[in-house]
Structure 1
Amino acid sequence: MEPLLPGRGLIVSLIFFLLKFSTAIEIPPSVQQVPTIIKQSKVQVAFPFDDYFQIECEAKGNPEPTFSWTKDGNPFYFTDHRIITSNNSGTFRIPNEGHISHFQGKYRCFASNKLGIAMSEEIEFIVPSVPKFPKEKIDPLEVEEGDPIVLPCNPPKGLPPLHIYWMNIELEHIEQDERVYMSQKGDLYFANVEEKDSRNDYCCFAAFPRLRTIVQKMPMKLTVNSLKHANDSSSSTEIGSKANSIKQRKPKLLLPPTESGSESSITILKGETLLLECFAEG
C-alpha cells in the first residue's frame, strides 16, 4: 500500500476534524431562525368509524412561531367549540360527532415569527358520502338460447379502491369463464347464453374497503328461452336450422351498455400498466 504523503495526510486529518466538529455544532437558543415546517398532514379522509380526525402542522423557529390556517383560501379560525387545538402547535383535531361535512375543504397552515412566514402544502380534508345504488325498477330481460347479452352494473362513485362482485341473493358468486366474464367497469358479459343462465337474482355488489361499505344493486332477472321449446308451429327442420345458425354464426364485438358510457381514449403515465378489453359474442 502506498504511504500517504505528508500534505495528503494533513488534508485527511483536517476533513475528519471538520466532520467531527460539524456534528457537534448546535445552534444556540439565542440565534434567531425563520420558521420551518417540519411536519404536516397529507390528504386526510374522514372515515366514519374514526373517533376523531387530526390535521397536523408542526414548525420550528426562533422566536417560537405562531400558527394560522386558511380553508379554501379564506382565513380559518378555531371558533367552533368542537375543534381541539394543541399548545405551541398548529395541529388540531375534529371529533367525529356528526356534521363533519361542514369541515370538508382544502386547508393550508402558516407558521410565522418576526423573521418570516413558512407555508405548508395544501391539505385536503375529505368527508366521503356513503355510496348507494339508485333505487330503480329493473325490467326483466328475456333472450333466446345462444344470444349475447350484457348485464350493466353502473356502480356508485366512492372513495377508491372499488371492488365489484356478481353474486346471487344467497351471496354465491356467479361463475365466470371464457363465456361469462366481467369488464373493468363491472358489467357482466355473456358471449352466448345457455338455458342454465336463467335466474331472477343477478346482483351486482360494490365494495369500498376503505369505507368498510358494501352496497348491492337491485336483483336482475334473466330468462333464457330454450330452442327446444320453440313455437309448436315451427317444424323440426326450421328449429334445427335455427339452432345450427346460432352455433356457427360469425363472432361480433360486444359493446358496453349505453348507460355505462364508452371511452375512445385513455391517458396513462409512463411505467403504469394498461389493460385493454375486447369482448366478443359467438
Structure 2
Amino acid sequence: EKGLAAACSLFILIRCPFNSFNIIFLCVLYIPTVRQPPMIFKESPQDYIVDPVDPIIVECEATGNPPPVFTWTRNGVYLNVARDPQVSMRWRSGTLEIFFWGRPNDYEGVYQCTATNEFGSALSSYINLRVSKARTWLKEYLEPVSVVVGLPLILPCNPPVGPPKPAMAPIRQDRRVSKAENGDLYFSSIVAEDALTNYVCVARFPFTNTIQQKPPLILQVLTGLCDELFSFCFGIIL
C-alpha cells in the first residue's frame, strides 16, 4: 500500500467490506507541465496573392507553453491591429483577418509574424502579400504583319501584367514554330501556309481562373521576287 500510495499525488483507499484482502485504489497521477518556447507550425505562403473580392486571411499559428502572444510587422513597421477597424486577430492565434472596404491594395506589403512567451520567440517567414490584378487587354486594332517567305519572325504577345503571372495557352510546336514563356511566337522561317491562320494570344490567370485574349492578328506572307542587279525585292501578297 505504501509503495502504491507513494507513486500517487492523490489517492483514495477503499476497503471492500466483504473481503479484507481486496483493496481498490483510485489514483490521480501528477504529470508536470513541460514549458516550451514558441514554434510556428502554420503560415501563409511567402509569395501570397489574394483575390480582391474576398477578405484577406494571413495565417500564423504557433505552439508554446505558456501560450504565445502574437505581433505583426508590415514592411518592417509594427502593425497595430487594435487601431485598424478593418483588421482583427483570431483568438489564441496570430492569424490576421482583413475585411477591407473597397481598397485592398492598401494592405499590400511584406508581413512577418512573431510569437513570444517567457521562454523565447519565433518568427514566421516574410510573407509578400499582393492583390491579384488580372487586367484585360486593351481593345485595339492590330495592323496586319507582312513578312517575306523564308525569313524568321516573332509575333509578340505582351499579356497583361499580373500578379499573378499569367499562364500562356499551349500551341502545337515543331522545329519551325515555337512559343516563348512570355507568349511570343517564334517562326524560324515563314512559309506560305502561315498566312492561312489568324493568330490570337491567350493568357490564363490561374488564381482567379480567368482567361484573357488579345485581338486577332493577321499575317500577310509575301513571295520575294529579288532582282540581284538592283538589290531590292518586290512582294506579292498571298
Q: Same fold (TM over 0.5)?
A: yes
The answer to whether residue 43 in structure 2 is matched with residue 40 in structure 1 is: yes
For residues 209 and 64 of structure 1, do their structure 2 counterparts lie closer, same or farther at Cα, with a shift above 3 Å needed? closer
Shift of 1:70: 0.8
The residue aligned with 2:8 is none
Aligned to 2:221, which of 195, 212, 224? Answer: 224
Give the TM-score, by structure 2 length.
0.66
- What's 1:179 paired with? 176
Amino acid at match of 1:111: A
Residue 203 (structure 2) aligns with: 206
SS of 2:200's equivalent? strand
Report the Cα offset of residue 153 of structure 1.
1.6
Q: TM-score, normalised by structure 1?
A: 0.57
Pick closer, same or farther for the CA change 1:35–1:54 going to 2, 3 Å.
same
Aligned-pair CA distance for 1:226: 4.7
> Number of aligned pairs?
199
2:55 is matched with 52
Q: Which runs of 5+ in 2 are unaligned?
A: 1-29, 228-232, 234-238
- Are residues 195 and 42 of structure 1, via their aligned partners in 2, closer, same or farther at CA, if it must alter by over 3 Å? closer
Displacement of 1:161: 5.9
Asked which structure has the greater CA Rg, the reply is 2
Q: Which has the higher strand share?
A: 2
| C-alpha separation in 2, matches of 1:58 and 1:212 | 29
Determine the structure 2 residue equivalent to 1:99: 103
Q: Which residue of 2 aligns with 1:263?
A: none
Q: List per-residue Cα deviations over 1:24-58 (Å, max 9, x = no partner).
A: xx9634x6443333433333320346x33322222
1:52 maps to amino acid: P
Q: Distance in 2 between matches of 1:113 and 1:179?
A: 63
Quote the residue 2:168 is aligned against.
Answer: 164
Quote the residue 2:236 is aligned against: none
**Mapped pair 1:85 → 2:82:** no
Residue 118 of structure 1: how far off its partner (Å): 2.9
1-side partners of 2:132 and 2:61: how far apart?
Answer: 26
Distance in 1, matches of 2:134 and 2:60, equals: 29
Aligned counterparts of 1:150 and 1:65: Cα–Cα separation in 2: 57
Hey, what's the Cα distance between the residues in 2 that align with 1:42 and 1:148? 42
Over residues 156-184 of structure 1, what are the superposed CA-to-partner deviations in whole Å (9 max), with x where a residue is unaligned? 33346643238xxxxxx7x6544333234
Q: 2-side partners of 1:191 and 1:113: how far apart?
A: 64
Q: Alignment identity in percent?
A: 38
The answer for unaligned runs of 5 or more in structure 1 is 1-25, 167-172, 235-241, 243-282
Asked if structure 2 preserves the Cα contact closer than 8 Å seen for 1:159 and 1:210, the reply is no
- Aligned 8 A contact 2:133 2:161 in 1: no
Higher helix share: 1
For residues 38 and 174 of structure 2, the distance between their equivalents in structure 1, rounded to whole angstroms, comes to 61
- Does residue 141 in structure 1 map to residue 138 in structure 2? no
SS state at 1:102 partner: helix
| Matches for 1:184-263 after TM superposition, within 5 Å | 184-198=181-195, 201-226=198-223
For residues 57-77 of structure 1, the C-alpha deviation after alignment (integer angstroms, 9 at most, x for no partner) is 223334432221111110101
Paired with 1:32 and 1:181, the residues of 2 have a C-alpha distance of 61
Q: Provide the alpha-carbon RMSD of the alignment.
A: 3.5
The answer as to 2:126 corresponding to 1:122 is yes
1:188 partner letter: L
**Residue type matched to 2:97 in 1?**
R
Letter in 2 for 1:197: D
